[in-house]
């Protein structure tokens, strides 16, 4: 599932982009989840993350460039496509690292081109193994994300990283870790843990077990949220697999 946001104060433009996405989805058998927002402030209020955002530059209270700057503080991974009446905005927009630029009025082929490029980009990056650099106690530590089973905060800005058969000690906080990992795969069922949902084996009352036997507590107040996150992960995993 590819998540897309359309942020524009013109409903006709939103509907036109939606129609283009729907047609492209049918022709290329690609599944999209599309959300629309009638202003930058509405987009900034959402807690959702997106693979792509069609973002109008000329909007009311908060224009598209300011919206992009603020949204980058929430979600650094979303690819932004600016939509505008004026091509001269293109140069200004590059300060916020756009994925593409669409000038109004546009034909469906222009939106098709953006969606095609997005599919290629996501496919190419999915084929690359994601690696993160952590602050190991003896120096920089490079680990493959898919091989990490869990992170455990042990106090005094120290974290234990569990892989299938190894443990590593690193420096930092769990909020530092969440800024590095993919929130689609990792969840925090307890204030002291982050777990890779790919490696969850089972849940028994308020304890979950990874496939290599790590026991992770699930806080009672986080149980419902954890169930929702894990259900979403399983549904996406089934769709992709």
| Weakest mean pLDDT among 23-27, 76-80, 87-91, 143-147 | 87-91
Domain count, the chain: 2
Q: Is the pTM of this model over 0.75?
A: no
More confident site: 157 or 99: 157
* Max avg pLDDT among 70-74, 75-79, 83-87, 197-201: 197-201
7 with 120, same domain: the answer is yes
Mean of pLDDT over the chain: 87
Domain end among 96, 127, 158: 127
Give the orientation angle of helix 11-28 with respect to helix 108-127, to 10 degrees. Answer: 60
Backbone angles phi, psi at 215, to 5 degrees: -100, 125
What is the CB neighbour count within 10 angstroms for residue 110?
15
Lookup: tokens for 154? 């042990």
Q: What is the pLDDT of residue 45?
A: 92
pLDDT digits (tens, 9 = 90+) for 189-236: 999 999 999 899 888 889 999 999 999 999 999 999 999 998 888 877
Section 134-146 average pLDDT: 85
Start-to-end C-alpha separation, the chain:
12
Check: CB of residue 134 under 8 Å from CB of residue 43: no
94 with 23, same domain: the answer is yes
* Residue 186 CB partners (closer than 8 Å, separation 6+): 178, 194, 195, 196, 197
Q: The CATH number of the domain where 57 resides is what? A: 3.40.50.2300
- Residue 45's domain spans which residues? 2-127
Q: Can you tell me the distance from the alpha carbon of 68 to that of 80, in angstroms, rounded to the nearest whole number?
A: 8
Section 23-39 average pLDDT: 94
* Residue % of the chain over a pLDDT of 90: 54
8 with 121, same domain: the answer is yes
pLDDT digits (tens, 9 = 90+) for 49-72: 899 999 998 887 788 888 988 888
Q: Can you tell me the distance from the alpha carbon of 117 to that of 99, in angstroms, rounded to the nearest whole number?
A: 9
């Amino acid at each position: 599932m590819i998540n897309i946001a359309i942020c524009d104060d013109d409903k006709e433009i939103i509907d036109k982009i939606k129609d283009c996405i729907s047609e492209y989805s049918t022709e290329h058998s690609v599944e999209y989840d599309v959300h629309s927002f009638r202003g930058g402030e509405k987009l900034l209020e959402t807690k959702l993350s997106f693979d792509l955002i069609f973002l109008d530059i000329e909007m009311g209270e908060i224009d598209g460039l300011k919206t992009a700057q603020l949204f980058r503080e929430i979600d650094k991974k979303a690819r932004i496509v600016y939509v505008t009446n004026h091509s001269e905005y293109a140069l200004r927009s590059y300060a916020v690292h756009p994925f593409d630029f669409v000038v109004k009025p546009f034909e469906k082929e222009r939106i098709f081109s953006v969606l095609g490029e997005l599919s290629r980009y996501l496919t190419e990056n999915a084929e690359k193994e994601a690696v993160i650099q952590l602050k190991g106690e003896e120096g920089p530590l490079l680990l493959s994300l898919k091989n990490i089973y869990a992170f455990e905060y042990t106090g005094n800005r120290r974290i234990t990283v569990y892989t299938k058969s190894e443990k590593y000690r690193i420096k930092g906080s769990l909020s530092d870790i969440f800024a590095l990992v993919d929130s689609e795969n990792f969840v925090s069922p307890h204030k002291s843990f982050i777990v890779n949902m790919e490696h969850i084996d089972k849940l028994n009352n308020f304890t979950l077990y990874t496939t290599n036997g790590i026991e992770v507590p699930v806080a009672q107040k986080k149980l419902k949220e954890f169930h929702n996150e894990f259900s979403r992960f399983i549904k996406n995993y089934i769709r992709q697999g």
